[in-house]
Protein backbone atom coordinates (compact mmCIF):
# COMPACT_ATOMS: atom_id res chain seq x y z
CA UNK A 1 0.00 0.00 0.00
CA UNK A 2 1.22 3.44 -0.95
CA UNK A 3 2.03 5.56 2.05
CA UNK A 4 0.14 8.90 2.26
CA UNK A 5 2.28 11.99 2.23
CA UNK A 6 1.97 13.90 5.54
CA UNK A 7 -0.09 16.71 3.98
CA UNK A 8 -2.56 14.27 2.43
CA UNK A 9 -2.91 12.49 5.78
CA UNK A 10 -3.67 15.81 7.47
CA UNK A 11 -6.43 16.55 4.96
CA UNK A 12 -7.98 13.11 5.49
CA UNK A 13 -7.92 13.65 9.29
CA UNK A 14 -9.44 17.15 9.01
CA UNK A 15 -12.22 15.87 6.78
CA UNK A 16 -13.08 13.10 9.24
CA UNK A 17 -13.10 15.39 12.29
CA UNK A 18 -15.11 18.12 10.58
CA UNK A 19 -17.74 15.81 9.11
CA UNK A 20 -21.28 16.70 10.18
CA UNK A 21 -22.95 14.05 12.34
CA UNK A 22 -25.75 12.11 10.72
CA UNK A 23 -29.03 14.02 11.28
CA UNK A 24 -30.87 12.67 14.30
CA UNK A 25 -34.60 12.06 14.22
CA UNK A 26 -36.40 14.60 16.46
CA UNK A 27 -36.97 13.16 19.90
CA UNK A 28 -40.49 12.95 21.23
CA UNK A 29 -41.20 14.12 24.78
CA UNK A 30 -44.21 13.75 27.00
CA UNK A 31 -44.47 17.11 28.74
CA UNK A 32 -46.51 17.11 31.95
CA UNK A 33 -47.91 20.06 33.88
CA UNK A 34 -49.17 19.29 37.39
CA UNK A 35 -51.36 21.87 39.14
CA UNK A 36 -50.63 21.17 42.79
CA UNK A 37 -52.54 24.02 44.36
CA UNK A 38 -54.96 26.85 43.56
CA UNK A 39 -55.81 29.45 46.18
CA UNK A 40 -58.15 32.43 45.98
CA UNK A 41 -56.44 35.75 46.81
CA UNK A 42 -59.65 37.69 46.14
CA UNK A 43 -63.20 36.86 47.14
CA UNK A 44 -64.32 35.25 43.88
CA UNK A 45 -67.98 34.79 44.86
CA UNK A 46 -69.92 37.54 46.60
CA UNK A 47 -70.97 36.47 50.07
CA UNK A 48 -74.71 36.37 50.72
CA UNK A 49 -75.70 35.70 54.35
CA UNK A 50 -72.77 33.26 54.61
CA UNK A 51 -69.29 33.10 53.05
CA UNK A 52 -69.37 31.79 49.48
CA UNK A 53 -66.20 29.94 48.45
CA UNK A 54 -64.61 29.65 45.02
CA UNK A 55 -65.39 26.90 42.52
CA UNK A 56 -62.11 26.35 40.71
CA UNK A 57 -61.34 24.67 37.45
CA UNK A 58 -58.33 25.07 35.17
CA UNK A 59 -57.49 25.05 31.49
CA UNK A 60 -53.97 24.14 30.45
CA UNK A 61 -52.53 24.40 26.96
CA UNK A 62 -49.33 22.49 26.13
CA UNK A 63 -47.90 22.93 22.64
CA UNK A 64 -51.25 24.21 21.37
CA UNK A 65 -53.49 21.49 22.87
CA UNK A 66 -55.91 22.82 25.48
CA UNK A 67 -57.54 20.69 28.18
CA UNK A 68 -60.03 21.60 30.89
CA UNK A 69 -60.50 20.01 34.31
CA UNK A 70 -63.70 19.37 36.21
CA UNK A 71 -64.81 21.94 38.81
CA UNK A 72 -64.02 21.66 42.51
CA UNK A 73 -66.98 23.39 44.13
CA UNK A 74 -67.00 25.53 47.27
CA UNK A 75 -63.32 25.70 48.21
CA UNK A 76 -60.98 28.73 48.29
CA UNK A 77 -57.82 26.64 48.61
CA UNK A 78 -57.47 23.33 46.76
CA UNK A 79 -54.64 20.86 46.15
CA UNK A 80 -56.07 18.95 43.19
CA UNK A 81 -52.86 17.58 41.61
CA UNK A 82 -54.40 17.93 38.16
CA UNK A 83 -52.06 16.43 35.54
CA UNK A 84 -51.93 17.50 31.90
CA UNK A 85 -49.67 15.61 29.48
CA UNK A 86 -48.90 16.32 25.85
CA UNK A 87 -46.54 14.50 23.49
CA UNK A 88 -44.40 16.82 21.40
CA UNK A 89 -41.40 16.78 19.06
CA UNK A 90 -40.50 20.39 19.86
CA UNK A 91 -37.58 21.37 22.07
CA UNK A 92 -39.32 24.60 23.15
CA UNK A 93 -42.84 24.00 24.38
CA UNK A 94 -45.28 26.84 24.96
CA UNK A 95 -47.49 26.28 28.01
CA UNK A 96 -50.37 28.43 29.23
CA UNK A 97 -52.47 28.03 32.34
CA UNK A 98 -55.86 29.60 33.08
CA UNK A 99 -57.87 29.34 36.26
CA UNK A 100 -61.60 30.02 36.48
CA UNK A 101 -64.22 30.30 39.16
CA UNK A 102 -67.29 28.45 37.98
CA UNK A 103 -70.38 30.65 38.34
CA UNK A 104 -73.92 29.69 37.49
CA UNK A 105 -77.40 31.12 37.72
CA UNK A 106 -77.46 34.62 39.21
CA UNK A 107 -73.65 34.79 39.34
CA UNK A 108 -73.49 34.97 35.53
CA UNK A 109 -70.49 33.89 33.46
CA UNK A 110 -67.48 32.18 35.01
CA UNK A 111 -64.75 34.41 36.45
CA UNK A 112 -61.44 34.29 34.59
CA UNK A 113 -59.07 34.44 37.58
CA UNK A 114 -55.88 36.50 37.49
CA UNK A 115 -52.81 34.23 37.77
CA UNK A 116 -50.48 36.66 36.00
CA UNK A 117 -48.49 39.20 38.10
CA UNK A 118 -48.55 41.68 35.19
CA UNK A 119 -51.40 44.15 34.84
CA UNK A 120 -53.54 43.48 31.78
CA UNK A 121 -52.91 39.72 31.71
CA UNK A 122 -54.73 36.96 33.57
CA UNK A 123 -53.38 33.89 31.82
CA UNK A 124 -49.99 32.51 32.85
CA UNK A 125 -47.90 31.76 29.75
CA UNK A 126 -44.29 30.55 29.54
CA UNK A 127 -41.84 28.45 27.55
CA UNK A 128 -40.41 25.12 28.69
CA UNK A 129 -37.05 24.08 27.23
CA UNK A 130 -36.97 20.28 27.13
CA UNK A 131 -33.18 20.30 26.57
CA UNK A 132 -32.26 22.31 29.68
CA UNK A 133 -35.39 22.02 31.83
CA UNK A 134 -35.58 25.81 32.12
CA UNK A 135 -38.89 27.66 32.34
CA UNK A 136 -38.89 31.27 31.11
CA UNK A 137 -41.47 33.91 30.28
CA UNK A 138 -44.48 34.62 32.50
CA UNK A 139 -43.06 32.17 35.05
CA UNK A 140 -39.47 31.18 35.76
CA UNK A 141 -38.08 28.04 37.28
CA UNK A 142 -36.78 24.60 36.55
CA UNK A 143 -38.03 21.17 35.62
CA UNK A 144 -39.51 19.21 38.51
CA UNK A 145 -39.53 22.11 40.99
CA UNK A 146 -42.78 23.61 42.29
CA UNK A 147 -43.34 27.15 41.01
CA UNK A 148 -45.63 29.55 42.89
CA UNK A 149 -47.15 32.53 41.05
CA UNK A 150 -49.88 34.94 42.15
CA UNK A 151 -51.99 37.21 40.00
CA UNK A 152 -51.95 40.99 40.35
CA UNK A 153 -53.46 44.09 38.77
CA UNK A 154 -56.64 42.65 37.27
CA UNK A 155 -58.88 41.75 40.21
CA UNK A 156 -60.18 38.24 40.98
CA UNK A 157 -56.69 37.20 41.98
CA UNK A 158 -55.57 33.65 42.58
CA UNK A 159 -52.30 31.92 43.37
CA UNK A 160 -51.10 28.74 41.69
CA UNK A 161 -48.44 26.16 42.51
CA UNK A 162 -47.46 23.95 39.58
CA UNK A 163 -44.70 21.66 38.33
CA UNK A 164 -43.49 21.05 34.77
CA UNK A 165 -41.63 17.89 33.82
CA UNK A 166 -41.08 15.61 30.85
CA UNK A 167 -39.92 12.14 29.92
CA1 LIG B 1 -67.60 34.17 41.01
CA1 LIG C 1 -68.38 30.58 41.80
CA1 LIG D 1 -52.62 40.28 36.12
Q: How far is the CA of 6 from the centre of ligand 1 (A)?
A: 81
Structure confidence by residue, pLDDT tens digits, 39-66:
999 998 877 767 789 999 999 999 999 9
Half-sphere exposure of 159 (CA within 13 A, CB side): 14
Q: How far is the CA of 2 from the centre of ligand 3 (A)?
A: 75
Domain ranges of the chain: 29-166
Structure confidence by residue, pLDDT tens digits, 27-38:
899 999 999 999
C-alpha separations of 48 from 23, 71, 107, 115, 124 in Å: 64, 21, 12, 26, 31
Structure confidence by residue, pLDDT tens digits, 102-137:
997 676 789 999 999 999 999 999 999 999 999 999
Q: What is the pLDDT of residue 95?
A: 98
Angle (CA) 109-112-115 rounded to 5° is 165
Q: What is the pLDDT of residue 30?
A: 97
Q: What is the pLDDT of residue 83?
A: 98
Ligand nearest to the CA of 109: 1
SS3 state at 106: helix
Q: How far is the CA of 109 from the centre of ligand 3 (A)?
A: 19
| Cα–Cα distance, 60 to 72 (Å, whole number) | 16
Ligand nearest to the CA of 43: 1
- Residues having C-beta closer than 5 Å to ion ligand 1: 44-45, 101, 103, 111
Residue 17: pLDDT over 90: no
Considering the domain 29-166, what is its CATH architecture?
Answer: Sandwich (2.60)
Q: How far is the CA of 114 from the centre of ligand 3 (A)?
A: 5
Q: How far is the CA of 150 from the centre of ligand 3 (A)?
A: 9
Please report which confidence band the pLDDT of residue 88 belongs to, taking 50, 70 and 90 as the band edges: very high
Q: What is the pLDDT of residue 26?
A: 75
Q: What is the pLDDT of residue 45?
A: 84
139 beta partners: none
Average pLDDT over the chain reads 89
Q: How far is the CA of 80 from the centre of ligand 2 (A)?
A: 17
Candidates 64, 68, 63, 65; CA nearest to 35 is: 68
Q: What is the pLDDT of residue 52?
A: 81
Q: Could you tell me the pTM of the whole model? A: 0.82
Q: How far is the CA of 107 from the centre of ligand 1 (A)?
A: 6
Amino acid sequence: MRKLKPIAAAIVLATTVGAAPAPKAPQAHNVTVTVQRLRALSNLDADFLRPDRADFYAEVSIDGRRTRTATVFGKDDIRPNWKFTQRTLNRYVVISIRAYDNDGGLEGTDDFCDLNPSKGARELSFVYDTATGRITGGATGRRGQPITVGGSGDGRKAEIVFVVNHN
